[in-house]
Each structure stands twice: as structure tokens, then as C-alpha cells.
Amino acid sequence: MKILRNSALLLIVGFMAWMMIHLYGQYESRDALNPVAEYYAVNGPEETGAANLVTSIVVTYRGLDTLGEVTILFLTAAIIGLLLRTEKGSRKKSVRESSEFLSTASGILIPVITLIGIYIFMNGHLTPGGGFQGGAVLASSFILVLLAISNKRIGHRLLDYTEAISGISFILLGILGILLAGGFLDNRILPLGNFGTLFSAGAIPVIYSLIGLKVGAELSNVILELNQIQGEEEEL
Amino acid sequence: MIQIILLIVMAVIMLVMAFIAIHHKSLQVAVIASGIISLFASVIYIFLAAPDVAITEASIGSALTVGIFFYILNKIRHEDIKK
């Protein structure tokens, strides 16, 4: 049995090595961008008005992909909520209080981290980062909130409403793009403005802020579910 | 030159941390080691001129994932005590 397993492993490794050698032999470096990348690099800043080319591709040219990613994240959060959510009133929390260090330090850190998260998704069209990154930073500040203020109950409702409203507005903006401009999620429904300023690039800042709020609310919701099963175990 | 040396040092640290994450007895240490891998990976992404990916890796890999793993570990420990 062991010989069989080892020989199978050896076969797989040998196959991988053969493929790698093959790939390496075929590789030739190019000194020019491929046509699609060249189109984005040349026409992107002019067409979308975004200083950060990555954002103009993610939100405008490949906006449908972004919608798919947001949907996947939404489904994941919803399934986790379905599996972990308990009946109302059955959870009583008796978690021990957080230490002095944690509560003092988090009082300073939470506003700063939240501000960084909001900055990242509001300036997605100017600086690196965007909705997903900013939302993840927001959720990591939410972990600190839960750790520091363990005795208070935090409602699902605010998170749920934030998520629902920003998700619906995201799709409505996309449909507005079909009606007023070139196509789904076209950013030219708002004026492009001056290149490189905060209120530029049409609808990109609005769309990315909505995505940021949605992702932040979804990830925070997942963490909140996990935190609440914690309280239950404590009670049993 | 110094950039390449730094990159190699960070890659070696990541490999060591990956080994620790797999083979250490304590699960807490393993989770923290996997968080450190993400942290150094995000620094390497900045060196390779991909700041977008670096922000994602730092916030998700080294903050959110570690937090979620600790919540789950805590839950598993409670179940063990009950039994």
C-alpha cells in the first residue's frame, strides 16, 4: 500500500516537473502589452477619469465581475448566518470583561482604523485600494469593537440594513448606467470632473463606497455570528 | 541589491513560519504563524508594486482570518471541556 502511494506521488511530481520544464522552454518575454491591456493603459484615464487605473478596470470595464464577487461574498455571509443564527432570546452572554489595556487601547485604535477603512474606499479612484480592501479594514476594526465592548449587545439590524441598502443602490446605479450612459455600470452618469480630485471619475467613488459599506457590513455580520455562538457556549 | 536581500530574508521567514504552522503542537501558535505569513506576503507585494493586493492580504490574511480562527478555536475548546 505504501509503495503504491509513494509511486503515485512520484508520478505526480514527475508530471509536474515535466510540465514546468515544458512551460519554461516555451516562455518568451514580451516587450509590449497585449492589445487589451494597451487599450486600458492608453484610453482608461481619459474614458473613466480615474487616476488609479486598477480601480477603473475593476469598477467600470470589469464591473460585471465585481458584481459577481459581491454576490459570492453575500451568499457566503448569508449561508453562515443561516447555519449559525440561533433563536431569539436563547442567548445569554456572560463573557468575562475585557482587560483595562484592551478597552483603553481600542478606544484609541477603533476610530483610527475605521477612518483608514473609509479613506481607502472613498479614495479608491485616486490611491491603491478600494471597496473590498476598505470593507475588510472596517471589519477588522469591528473585531476590536466586539473584543473591547463584550458586555453590550450589538444588533444585527443596523448591519443588515446597511448591507441591503448599499447592495440595492449598487445595482440601481448599474442600471442607471444602461439608461443614461453606455452600458451596465458605466461611470459617466455623473460628470467626470477634474482628473485627480476627490469628486472625479463619475460614479466610481459612489459605487466603490457602496461596495465598501456592503463588504464591511457582510464581514462584520460573519464575525458577529461567531461572537454570539461564543456567548452561548459560555452559558451552557 | 538590498531589495533582493530583503526579499530573500522575508521569503525564508515565510517558509519557516509555514513549517511552524504545520508542525507546531499548539494550535494558537500555528494560527499566529499563518498570520505572520500573510503579513510578510503583503510586504513582498508592496516590493513587487502591487499595493492593492498588499492591502487586501494585510487586512484579510493577518487580521480577519486570525480573528475568525481564534473564535473557532475558542468554541472547540469549550466543546472539549463539556465532554
DSSP A13-51: HHHHHHHHHHHHHH----SS--HHHHHHHHHHHHHH--S
- On whether residue A7 sits in a domain, the answer given is no
- How far is C-alpha A109 from the chain's CA centre? 21
Cell of A130: 478600494
Percent of chain A exceeding pLDDT 70 equals 89
A129/B79 CB distance under 8 A: no
Q: Is the pTM of this model over 0.90?
A: no
DSSP class per residue in B7-68: HHHHHHHHHHHHHHHHH-S-HHHHHHHHHHHHHHHHHHHHHTT-HHHHHHIIIIIIIIHHHH
Q: Quickly state the pLDDT bin for B67 (edges 50, 70, 90).
A: confident
- On whether residue A89 sits in a domain, the answer given is yes
What local confidence, expressed as pLDDT, does residue B40 receive? 92
- On whether residue A4 sits in a domain, the answer given is no
- Dihedral of alpha carbons A219, A222, A226, A228, sign: positive
- On whether residue A184 sits in a domain, the answer given is yes
Domain that holds residue A201: 50-235
What local confidence, expressed as pLDDT, does residue B81 receive? 66
pLDDT in tens, A138-169: 888 888 888 777 656 666 788 888 888 888 88
Distance, in Å, from the CA atom of A216 to the CA atom of B32, rounded to the nearest integer, reads 23
- On whether residue A33 sits in a domain, the answer given is no
What local confidence, expressed as pLDDT, does residue A236 receive? 46
Taking Cα atoms as reference points, which of B38, B42, B23 lies closest to residue B68?
B38
How does DSSP classify residue A180?
H
B75/A233 CB distance under 8 A: yes
- Which residue does chain B place closest to A144, by CA atoms? B67
Q: Which one of A137, A222, A223 has the shortest CB-CB distance to B59?
A: A137
Q: Quickly state the pLDDT bin for A14 (edges 50, 70, 90).
A: very high
Percent of chain A exceeding pLDDT 90 equals 7
pLDDT in tens, A95-128: 566 778 888 888 888 899 999 988 888 888 888 8
- On whether residue A182 sits in a domain, the answer given is yes
Q: Quickly state the pLDDT bin for A222 (edges 50, 70, 90).
A: confident
- The more confidently predicted of residues A195 and A152 is A195
- Asked if the C-beta of A202 comes within 8 angstroms of chain B's C-beta atoms, the answer is no
- On whether residue A30 sits in a domain, the answer given is no
Average pLDDT of chain A, as a whole number: 80
DSSP class per residue in A211-227: HHHHHHHHHHHHHHHHH
Domain count, chain A: 1
pLDDT at A94 over 60: no
Which residues of A are less than 8 Å from B57 in CB distance? none
- On whether residue A39 sits in a domain, the answer given is no
Q: Residues near A195 by Cβ (< 8 Å), separated by ≥ 6?
A: A45, A49, A51
What local confidence, expressed as pLDDT, does residue A64 receive? 85
Q: B4: distance to nearest CA of chain A, Å?
A: 21
